[in-house]
Amino acid sequence: MKKLLTLSAIACATLSPAAMAAEEVNVYSYRQPFLVEPMFNEFTKETGIKVNVKFAKKGLAEKLAQEGEYSPADVVLTTDISRLAELTNKGLVQSVDSEVIEANVPAQYQDKENEWFALTLRTRNVYSSRDRVGKLGDDFNYADLAKPEFKGKICTRSGKHPYNVSLVSAMIAENGEAATKQWLEGVKANLARKPQGNDRAQVKAIKEGLCDVALGNSYYLGKMVNDAEQKAWADSVYINFPNQETTGTHVNISGMAMAKYAPNQENALKLMEFLTGDKAQQMYAEVNYEYPVKPGVKPSELVASWGEFKADPISLDDIASHHAAAIKLLDEVKFDL
């Protein structure tokens, strides 16, 4: 009888919504396990709140929509402003009121309705061959990629990858659709090969002599430097920050949002505030070679060695508003074909 009572008590404790709310928070994440789990472990250590994580490479917005009000998700972690905008546009997240987050995340890097917040920053930089091109000067701009001297020398991943769509969106916001379309036509004409692979594959292509310059996110350089098989790729290029004498280098983010039907809202808020704090921000910087979003938190020693840069101050909300136009232009110029 005692054993039955004990099992019954355990079952009640396990299934009780109140017990779950007091001790757990559920995260849907596009971010890789090795990156976020150390921070979740530290959060649990400090608060006693267990973090349950469901990792995915794609389809989180569709999953949230399908689950609706029965979704267990409390917090969504994702990369790129386009994926965060998708969550807000589909009504899958809710507004969060937090003085802590407001103080930690600059206004440029949060939704005007407080439905998403940046956690880390990364630049969309240009890699150049050390041997064949050298370091590009501060007067180098994204616009220069369309110039005749780069004919047959550029590599990039798909134009429709979110990282490139966001860059095109930023150019639309600053230069208009007509000028951006002309730029895309020029870049396409200068490609050394059909867009393919990921950002690291472009650096490999530079190492192999297939092209001389490539678009890529900054943190990939840190990953390659610390990968025995890829270090030679990293050593073959310089990292360059375009538009330093004009608008500044395009910056994208990884970010977070609270799910619309979050069953553990209080714990979700605690986790979101923790992720914007000094300890988590420093962990992000050291583990994934990204720039902390919180002012005053320093990047890793390796990232700092790449030098300081001026970031484009344009609002990410503004960039997100041009994503549909960016996709349209990429289709019109048949960028990936």
**Could you give all domains of the chain from N- to C-terminal order, each with its CATH number?**
24-121+251-299 (3.40.190.10), 124-250+312-333 (3.40.190.10)
Which pairing describes strands 251-259 and 117-129: parallel, antiparallel, or unpaired? antiparallel
Q: Which pLDDT score is estimated for 22?
A: 54
Binding residues: 219-220
Average pLDDT, consecutive stretches of 10 residues, N- to C-terminus, the chain (337 residues): 36 39 86 88 96 92 96 94 91 97 95 95 97 96 98 98 95 97 98 98 98 97 96 98 97 96 98 97 92 96 96 92 96 98
The pLDDT of residue 31 is 86
**What is the distance between the alpha carbons of residues 262 and 281, in angstroms, rounded to a whole number?**
24
Query: In terms of DSSP bridges, do strands 213-217 and 154-155 run parallel, antiparallel, or are they unpaired?
Result: parallel
The span from the CA of 329 to the CA of 216, in Å, is 20
CA 105 to chain CA mean position, Å: 15
Global pTM?
A: 0.86
- Residues 6 or more apart whose CB falls under 8 angstroms from that of 264 comprise 20, 21, 24, 25, 26, 74
Residues in binding site for Fe cation? 219-220
Q: What share of the chain is helix, strand, coil (3-state, %, to 5)?
A: 50, 15, 35
> Which helix H or strand E contains 216, and what residues bound it?
strand 213-217
Q: Letter for the amino acid at 314?
A: I
At residue 152, the 3 state secondary structure works out as coil
DSSP state string for 154-203: EE-S-TTSHHHHHHHHHHHHHH-HHHHHHHHHHHHHHBSS-S-S-HHHHH
Tell me which amino acid residue 3 is.
K
Q: What's the confidence (pLDDT) of residue 238?
A: 98
Q: Tell me, what amino acid is at 277?
A: G
